[in-house]
Amino acid sequence: MISAIAKYTRPVVCFICIVFCLQLNRLAAAQAVPAGSGTLTLDRIFNSAEFQPQHGSFGRWNGPNSYIALEESKSLPGGSDFISYDADGANRRVLLTAEMLVPQGEKKPIEAANYTFSADGKTLLLFTNTQRVWRQWTRGDYWVLYLRTKKLTKLGGDAKPASLMFAKLSPDGLRAGYVYENNIYVEDIESGRIHRLTSDGTKHIINGTSDWVYEEELDVRDGWQWSPDGRDIAFWQFDTTGVPEYTLINNTDTLYPTTRVFAYPKTGETNSAVRIGVVGAKGGKVKWLKIPGDPRNNYVARINWTPDSKDLLVQQLNRLQNRDTFFEADPRSGLVREILVDEDPAWVDTSVDFIPGSVHWLDGGKQFAFVSERDGWRHLYVAALSGGSPKLVSTGKFDVINVEAFDEPHNTVYFMASPDNAAQSYLYRAKLDGSGAPERVTPRDVVGSNGYEFAPGSQYAVHTWSSLGDPPRSEVVKLPGHEAVRTLSDNDSLRRKLATVPQGPKEFFKIDIGDGSMMDAWMIKPPGFDPAKRYPVLFYVYGEPAGSTVHDSWEGGAYLWDLMLAQHGYILASVDNRGTDVPKGRAWRKAAFHKIGQTASTDQAVAARWMQAQPFVDPTRIGIWGWSGGGTMSLNMIFRYPKLYRTAMAVAPVPDMHLYDSIYQERYMGLPKDNEEDYRLGSPINYASQLKGNLLVVHGTGDDNVHFQGTERLINALISANKPFTMMAYPNRSHGIFEGENTTRHLYELLTRYLFANLPHD
């Protein structure tokens, strides 16, 4: 940790050192408390599995009423057997044993990070030896097992180890396609013959996967698709030529620094040129779709084959992302036809956030489902491939949180919603023809946040639910009646363990912004809460459109850390301001348009003043902290409202919106050249001179997402304004600051220590 307090303020430094020493002693004493005492410590939270919930043996569905579980092999230590169960847990059947996954000449079985069975269940694709590419472990080795012959084959021929990406079995299960060094290949599993389908892949030409910004902001990672008949492959191609490059410097792993350079378009900069190609699965000339518009200033957000393999449905976003155009594309001629446009004066969220695969085909491919806010609420619609006005399915003044499953034979769609409480989520169903009102499926006595994993056919699902402070339960249910047929995990032992931990009151409440709009909030009070005392308050904030913080759900280690701080006498709180991604209607979410950092700051200040006015709160001890967008908001609050906040802790912040990527920032703020004043007004770096309280800034120097560059510019602004602050750089860590031994534990001790010293508890 580097202190940036000037030498002329040495008496202040000495005072802070004394406080730090006192708080370190208290922190050390807390860590020494035996586990049975009920007092939480950082080691109990982050260095043990004491509070780890169990999730049961469920792996994934492999049929309408059966699922796969991986069970420890009794005959081969370290291996797993693949077991099939009926939905109710009966009829146990061994699909394959760990011995079948031992490569020739080896003694240990393949340790699968992921697996896929072919449609007929006769072929197994295994992903292992995985390597991380940006946020996901998407590069590795792939093996194929024929269950009939028990033949185990490694894909890729003489490809380098851990170098294949996004392998997928063909619909007939006889071939596998994959990406290797930015080219697409198809391999015949039986013979091992490999066809290279593209040959122009280079550092700048990317086939079958994506560039950095599409992966992060549009969730395009697996950038190719088999046609349903297995004859063709459609894929994204990215040309990053001309895209400005960002350089990460690794100073720690070798004697001299090494660099990692990648294309990263910041706001207003040149994007990759993107096009969609179709090529035969046996090779041949690539046919490029003739999608209109500048390929660098439009985004091809999604592609989906029609069920008959004759056409592709293509979704194109313009650069401002306020128009989502659906095209029907002929893969033989490359010609496209516009069939639907979804527009919004602010921005359009693509359906991938709400529907698995971004669209769902109905009526044999004549219709498709998508999500839109066109009536002021996030709802499900059905559109005809032939064109015409789409039909509203999920009627009512509420938001669809996400779509879970379609049961077309019963004219039913299942989706998550919570019309009465934005902090919760429940399963609903509606008629696909739009008739009748949606019905709640989750039982009324199940309160909190719910999730479902549906089996094919939608007759069974795994139901998991939790609430604030209450660990998850998981069961298999039969639908539509929601009858429980098997308990997978109840976490009663963890619940009993938590009952031994001293806890104070937990509550959800609302704060009036002043115009009739109500912000949702939660608060955790100290054990033995005394309303006659005055407590310090620490707010946790995110505040931007990409997420929210007020959830009635089990939050794991984050919740336990809050409890630990509450045991030391803090009140913990969080508020979702206007513009956050909560199910409260389009107007709530789009309040952030062109006002990132501004509307949220005003709302969070209202919450801080409300808290100051409570008789049990010390108005001089208000703090705030957050990560990423929440780190940005923490800076905004302590800079803009220096009389409200005494302390802020900003982890991986974006001090200047000009420095973030094009897709995310332009979606909400427009292009800098068109909206420069709002970029300036929303960026906390421009208010750094107003700092009066205590500020801790934490950042990983290897952050490929929110670059360390922004924190360095912030440091310069604070130095220029002669403002004292504290800063911690985690060498070569990414945006999550988790790489390396003991990093997470160290980070949370840093935050705890700084809080104890600069927002002291009694």
Residue 219 in any domain: the answer is no
β-bridge partners, 506:
524
366: in domain = no
Give the mean pLDDT of 719-723: 98
Q: Indicate if the pLDDT at residue 364 is higher than 50.
A: yes
Report CA-CA distances (Å) from 269 to 216, 263, 665, 702.
17, 11, 12, 22
Q: How many domains does the chain have?
A: 2
Domain ends where: 196, 228, 244?
196
Distance spanning both ends of the chain, measured CA to CA: 25
pLDDT for the residue numbered 89? 87
Are 20 and 160 found together in one domain? Answer: no
Contact 569, 616 (CB under 8 A): no
Q: Is 327 helix (H, G, I), strand (E, B) or coil?
A: strand
**Last residue of a domain, which of 196, 216, 236?**
196
In the sheet that holds 80-86, the strands lie side by side as 60-63, 66-72, 80-86, 93-96
For 754-762, what is the mean pLDDT? 96
pLDDT in tens, 663-706: 999 999 999 999 999 999 999 999 999 999 999 999 999 999 99
Q: What is the pLDDT of residue 350?
A: 79
Distance CA 291, CA 313 (A): 11
CA distance 636 to 652: 14
Q: Check pLDDT > 60 for residue 27.
A: no
- Using the predicted structure, report yes or no on whether residue 30 has a pLDDT greater than 90: no
**Single-letter amino acid code for the residue at 278:** V
Averaged pLDDT of the chain: 93
Does residue 6 carry a pLDDT above 70?
Answer: no
**Residue spans of beta strands (DSSP E) within 445-517:** 449-454, 460-467, 470-478, 483-489, 506-512
Q: pLDDT tier at 19 (50, 70, 90 boundaries)?
A: very low
Closest among 727, 650, 648 to 691, alpha carbons compared? 648
**What CATH number does the domain containing 734 carry?**
3.40.50.1820
Tell me: the pLDDT tens digits for 297-326? 999 999 999 999 999 999 999 999 999 999
Residue 306 covered by a domain: no
Burial of 555 (0-12, 13-18, 19+ CB in 10 A): middle
How much of the chain exceeds pLDDT 90, in percent? 90
Together in a domain, 542 and 663: yes
Mean pLDDT over 126-138 rounds to: 89
Based on the fold, state whether residues 23 and 114 are members of the same structural domain: no
Asked whether residue 57 carries a pLDDT value surpassing 90, the answer given is no
Least confident residue range of 14-18, 260-264, 359-363, 577-581: 14-18
Start-end of H helices in 32-161? 42-46
Q: Write down the pLDDT at residue 148.
A: 86
Q: How confident is the model at residue 35 (pLDDT cuts 50, 70, 90)?
A: very low
Same domain as 737, residue 613: yes
27 and 116 co-located in one domain: no
- Evaluate if residue 31 carries a pLDDT over 70: no
Residue pair 154/143 in contact by the 8 Å Cβ criterion: yes
Structure tokens at 576: 């979702």
pLDDT confidence of 762, banded at 50, 70, 90? confident
Between the CA of residue 340 and those of 16, 45, 354, 718, what are the distances in Å?
62, 50, 18, 50
For residue 132, give its domain range. Answer: 109-196
- The whole-number pLDDT of residue 23 equals 40
311 falls within a domain: no
Same domain for 156 and 9: no
Last-in-domain residue among 196, 216, 242: 196
Q: Which of 36-45, 125-134, 173-182 has the lowest mean pLDDT?
A: 36-45
pLDDT category, 359, cuts 50, 70, 90?
confident
Residue 686 lies inside a defined structural domain of this protein = yes
Residue 22 phi/psi, 5-degree rounding, is -60, -45
Residue 374 counted as domain residue: no
Residues 28 and 118 placed together within one structural domain of the fold: no
**pLDDT score recorded for residue 26:** 43
Do 526 and 631 belong to one domain?
yes
